Amino acid sequence: MASAQVMNAPPIPDAVQPVKISPPLILYKPLHPTFGAEASADFSTITPELVDEIKRGLSKYGVLVFRRTGLDDARHVEMSKLFGDLDDIAPFVGGLGQKNRLSSDYLFDVGNVNPDGTVMQPGGMRDLLLRCNYHFHADSAFNPRRAGISLLLAHELPPPCLGGETEFADTRAAYQALDDARKDEIHDWVVCNSQLNCRRNANTDENGKLNPLLDTDEFDPMKHRFGKHRLVQEHEPSGRTNLYIAAHAHHVEGMSLEEGQKQLRGLLEHAGRPEFTFKVTWKDVGDLVVWDNTCTLHRSVPGNYAGKYKRDLRRTTVHDMSSQAWGLNGEGATWRSGLD
């Protein structure tokens, strides 16, 4: 009797069919109390779902570190295109005697390798310009359309313990830590950003003397256009407020040059305080660090590897896709900082 009942049992309705649970696409291990995570994912097939999950992770963590991804130039670029519109270096190639060493104009060469494959020696023009990267910045804050997400991939690394880490700062936490009066005071400030400002400051000694190689109109921020962006902005993916400050910040609109520079220096120092920062040590070829420039800052840490060992890192840069992307520069503007 009991077995006849089982045989006649009605089929299980769809609603209670067992559901297939897929494993999470990314596992996260936080790296700092307020931001950053080491993340593990399978890059053997790159899908829009994986890219969406990376974006979700970035909205929370701001910086994600993926180890040994196995990516090469072509797949790095291919994946980056799924994030949005890519920035490219084409307008800069040929300027300052620069040749593009790499296979694609979507790859920004931030390493220390000369086009002939030798290690860049300190003191040459490209080295002087790259020194800007030693200071906390957000990519392309100086251009009419700022950068959103950057993806930096390791191709060759110096031996361990010789420097060359990448340090990050949490600018949402830095904003949050300001007191209410300061938040009110800075709320409507518009910051004028220039890549040349960062390049000049990075080559000015402790007595205020600028390296003569950069003491020309070509490197004078006042002779070129500024990328204007609001200092205090909503970070749209998370709904949190961000302090958009970078080493490119040259002056505050409507404020005297001197006062503006003093204020901006103070804010940049605040954002770079140790409690808002952590360092990523590059370990292996294929390590990929992805960050959101609209809620974090980054800088490269100088080290004794310079002039001796190759540090070959290549970056793709996704234009900001948020409503704040163009700041106060006019949507669709095509000029580039320093080339205007």
Residues making contact with Mn ion (CB under 5 A): 139
- Residue 198: phi, psi to the nearest 5? -65, -45
Determine, following the binding rule CB under 6 A, whether residue 166 of this chain makes contact with ligand OGA. Answer: yes
Q: Of the candidates 139, 287, 292, 312, which one interacts with ligand OGA according to CB under 6 A? A: 139
Q: Which amino acid is residue 138, in one-letter code? A: A
Other CB atoms within 10 A of residue 138 CB: 30
Determine, following the binding rule CB under 6 A, whether residue 300 of this chain makes contact with ligand OGA. Answer: yes
Determine, following the binding rule CB under 6 A, whether residue 310 of this chain makes contact with ligand OGA. Answer: no
Closest CA to 287 of 60, 82, 41, 89: 41
Sequence-ordered list of residues with C-beta below 8 angstroms from that of 272, at least 6 positions apart, any chain: 136, 169, 297
Determine, following the binding rule CB under 6 A, whether residue 316 of this chain makes contact with ligand OGA. Answer: no
Q: Which is nearer to ligand OGA, 252 or 336 (CB)?
A: 336
Q: Which amino acid is residue 178, in one-letter code? A: L
Determine, following the binding rule CB under 6 A, whether residue 171 of this chain makes contact with ligand OGA. Answer: no
Q: Which is nearer to ligand OGA, 251 or 298 (CB)?
A: 298
Determine, following the binding rule CB under 6 A, whether residue 228 of this chain makes contact with ligand OGA. Answer: no
Question: Applying CB under 6 A, what is the total number of residues that bind ligand OGA?
Answer: 10
The CB-of-301 to Mn ion minimum distance in angstroms stands at: 13
Rounded distance, CA 321 to CA 235, Å?
A: 11
User: Could you give the string, one character per residue 90-119, with x where binding to ligand OGA holds by CB under 6 A and - elsewhere?
Assistant: --------------------x---------
Could you give the angle at the alpha carbon of 271 between the alpha carbons of 270 and 275, nearest 5°? 90
Report CA dihedral (121, 127, 131, 134) to the nearest 10 degrees.
-50
Q: Among ligand OGA, Mn ion, none, what does residue 170 contact (CB within 5–8 Å per kind)?
A: none
Q: Among ligand OGA, Mn ion, none, what does residue 337 contact (CB within 5–8 Å per kind)?
A: none
